[in-house]
Structure 1
């Protein structure tokens, strides 16, 4: 089984990755760090088409994920070396990609970091964390973060 954590490129990522790392170490499970690129971010990252290669296997796309892990690791305390963390990058709707990836591997827990939102903000924009929690087949741990 694995612990899957979904992190973005925000200040909250260090806290979420640290908690996921501690959980994975306590349960003696591998840690997978998932970052989901929006299609517009993908265009900026690739700038060219690579024939015959899965987008998420592209070196530049994987580098984006690795850099996010490195920044989060530098700002947090991890139980894992960054080389021990499975770097996963997907493209598309974040909530959908998180739950789809978790379903595709033997996931024990999904670790996410939500942020406080006004009721209007929730109604207008939804919440990735909320959508993951409602649609996941495995338990979801929502890590409280101090960033708003």
Structure 2
């Protein structure tokens, strides 16, 4: 089976990757690090337009995802596969987890005020509500 770590380009990603690696090692599962780019970031940051090309197949997109995964796993001693998706993070994480029959989805939420929770959607919260498998929230200070 697979343990899926949903990572972003933040300090939380290393916490998520570490927790996912521990679970993968405990069950002798594969570890997949999934990073979802939104289209505007691809254009703004990577200066990549993907009219007819599958974003996951683009060299620059894969290189950026590999950089993010390397930063997240700098202290992790467990082999991991980097997976790139483009679009809505919630949809992509949940669909990828289903496609590989992931044992767990590991994600890292951030602390928010009650007002912030009511006004703004949380990727972590939406993944927990939409996934059909266990979701582990790797808590932290962020």
Same fold? TM cut 0.5: yes
* Pairing 1:24–2:37 present: no
C-alpha contact (below 8 Å) 1:5/1:34 kept by paired residues? yes
**Offset at residue 49 of structure 1 (A):** 3.9
CA contact under 8 A between 2:7 and 2:107: conserved in structure 1?
yes
TM superposition shift of 1:55:
1.2
What value does the CA root-mean-square deviation take over the aligned residues? 1.4
Spell out the pairing of 1:71-110 with structure 2 (5 A cutoff).
Answer: 71-74=71-74, 77-80=75-78, 84-110=79-105
Preserved contact between residue 42 and residue 49 of structure 2 (Cα < 8 Å): no
State the TM-score, normalized to the length of structure 1. 0.89
Q: What does residue 145 of structure 1 align with?
A: 140
Runs (4+) of structure 1 exceeding 2 A deviation are 46-51
Q: Secondary structure at the match of 2:73?
A: helix
- Alpha-carbon distance in structure 2 between the residues aligned to 1:107 and 1:98: 10
**Equivalent in 118, 129, 133 of residue 124 of structure 2:** 129
- Quick check: 2:8–2:36 contact (8 Å CA) kept in 1? yes
Structure 2 gaps of 5+ residues are: none
**Distance in 2 separating the partners of 1:109 and 1:48:** 33
Q: Normalising to structure 2: TM-score of the pair?
A: 0.92
